[in-house]
Amino acid sequence: MRDPHPPSRFLPPAGACDAHCHIFGPARRFPFAPDRTYTPPDSGFEELIALQDRLGLSRAVLVQASCHGKDNSALLDALRRGRGRFAGVAMIDESIADGELAAMHGVGVRGIRFNFVRHLEEAAAMRTVLALAERVAPLGWHVELHFDPEQIPDHGELFDRLATPFIIDHMGRVRAAGGLDQEPFRFLRELLARDERAWVKVSGAERLTGIGPPYDDVVPLARALIEAAPGQVLWGTDWPHPNVSHMPDDGDLVDLLADFAPEEETRNRILVDNPQRLYDFA
């Protein structure tokens, strides 16, 4: 939604961070990948700034999406223009030079992302993920992992062997209708509780819900993850919401955090303290 309502249930604190959103194009400057599986509308730097201002947010984490492939040009341009306001998560392969990694770090990249979800692209190979994690570990970066829910329990060896902190996107994309006892969710909650390297984003409510807005069925899932490891939780809008069945209002998603984390102290930890620790904003 291009005109979200401002948050109505709480005032985001200074330094509040949308820890998962995207920059798409504009395609005339930053063409989409020829082999992409979807084509999003242009959603560039100016639109992101307008969104942040509307929602009362101070920072954002820009996550490279598969429609741009491993050409991170649009992401890096937005990081430079943000002058320290934003952090980035890139998509790379093993051909990247160490000097390019250092240059990315200099403009605010703090992690790399791998897609495993079947509808986007061929799943990343574990060998590749582990090798690239080894290369970015000296920079203090993390690895972001995007799974279909049933894939999560099958990747315990990957989680154990990673040389970096790692984030599971969108609460593992588990379906809210499956409840707290579904195997992927139990595995994810236990992983957070036992491994301090594991993080999760309580985002993507519009993808998980079975009933639609205001996404009440997603609240128990988010609360359980926050309870398991409040210091390892991030929140994000997933703006501009590629590949969704209905377009959410980002103001609703901010307000939903009041249900995910009713206590102001916990909410501020998720919005400010946790992202600052992981992304090391300038």
238 belongs to the catalytic site:
yes
CB 89 within 8 A of CB 112: yes
CA distance 269 to 275: 8
What is the Cα–Cα distance from 200 to 99, expressed in whole angstroms? 30
Among 104, 40, 98, smallest CA distance to 71 is for 104
User: What is the distance between the alpha carbons of residues 206 and 237, in angstroms, rounded to a whole number?
Assistant: 10
* CB distance 84 to 282 below 8 Å: yes
Take residue 159 and report the two structure tokens written for it: 């989680």
Handedness of CA 243, 150, 156, 278 (dihedral sign): positive
Write out the H or E segment, with its range, that includes residue 268. Answer: helix 264-268
Contact 43, 22 (CB under 8 A): yes
List, in order, residues 6 or more apart from 273 with CB less than 8 Å away: none
Active-site option among 3, 35, 216, 238:
238
- Classify residue 84 as exposed, middle or buried by CB count within 10 Å of its CB (0-12, 13-18, 19+): exposed
Positions marked catalytic: 238
